[in-house]
Amino acid sequence: MKRNLMGLVVLAAMAMPAVASAQEAGDPARGERAFRKCQACHVVEQEGVNRAGPNLYGVVGRQAGIEEGFGYSPAMIEAGENGLVWDAEALDDFIAQPRQAVPGTKMTFAGIRNEGERADLIAYLATFTDEDAAAETSTN
């Protein structure tokens, strides 16, 4: 029990800078409104089903191209294998111009040009994390 708690504390401390920076830069409430542009293809529900795009629950800090059960493009899989992790900066680049950020991506959305709207959206996405599952994974 003590080991699990310590693992959770360490994991939370490591994850906080990425989540905190995304939240500081934007407003999650406004980001929820911005997400309306995304919800035709994406969900942000724990254990939600993939749609035309992958479930974005826990996307902040996740390696690109690994959401289970989603058929990623070879380009996205390769990007993840080459180290692309969805931190605030990578998400900002991708949301601004998906096909430029990851040439060959299946995502057909043109992107969001407004920097503030992207920051709000990233702050919103950062609110969807599963610290318990992450802690469980780190202790196994």
pLDDT higher at 19 or 74: 74
Reply yes or no on whether the pLDDT at 75 is more than 80.
Answer: yes
Q: Give backbone dihedrals phi and psi of 63, rounded to 5 degrees, phi first.
A: -65, 140
Which CATH code fits 2-139?
1.10.760.10
Contact 111, 98 (CB under 8 A): yes
Taking the mean position of all CA atoms in its chain, how far away is CA 31?
Answer: 13
- Please provide the DSSP assignment of 74-137 as one string: HHHHHHHHTT-B--HHHHHHHHH-HHHHSTT-S--------HHHHHHHHHHHTT---HHHHHHH
**pLDDT tens by residue, 12-71:** 444 444 444 444 589 999 999 999 999 999 999 999 999 999 999 999 999 999 999 999
**What is the value of pTM for the model shown?**
0.77
- Residue 7 is predicted with a pLDDT of 40
d(CA 3, CA 129): 21
Classify residue 53 by its DSSP letter. S
- Residue 24 is predicted with a pLDDT of 57
Structural domain boundaries in the chain: 2-139
d(CA 82, CA 69): 20
Query: Among 129, 128, 64, 130, which residue's Cα sits nearest to residue 93?
Result: 64
Mean of all residue pLDDT scores within the chain? 84
Radius of gyration, alpha carbons of the chain: 15
Region 121-132: mean pLDDT is 88
- Residue 25 is predicted with a pLDDT of 80
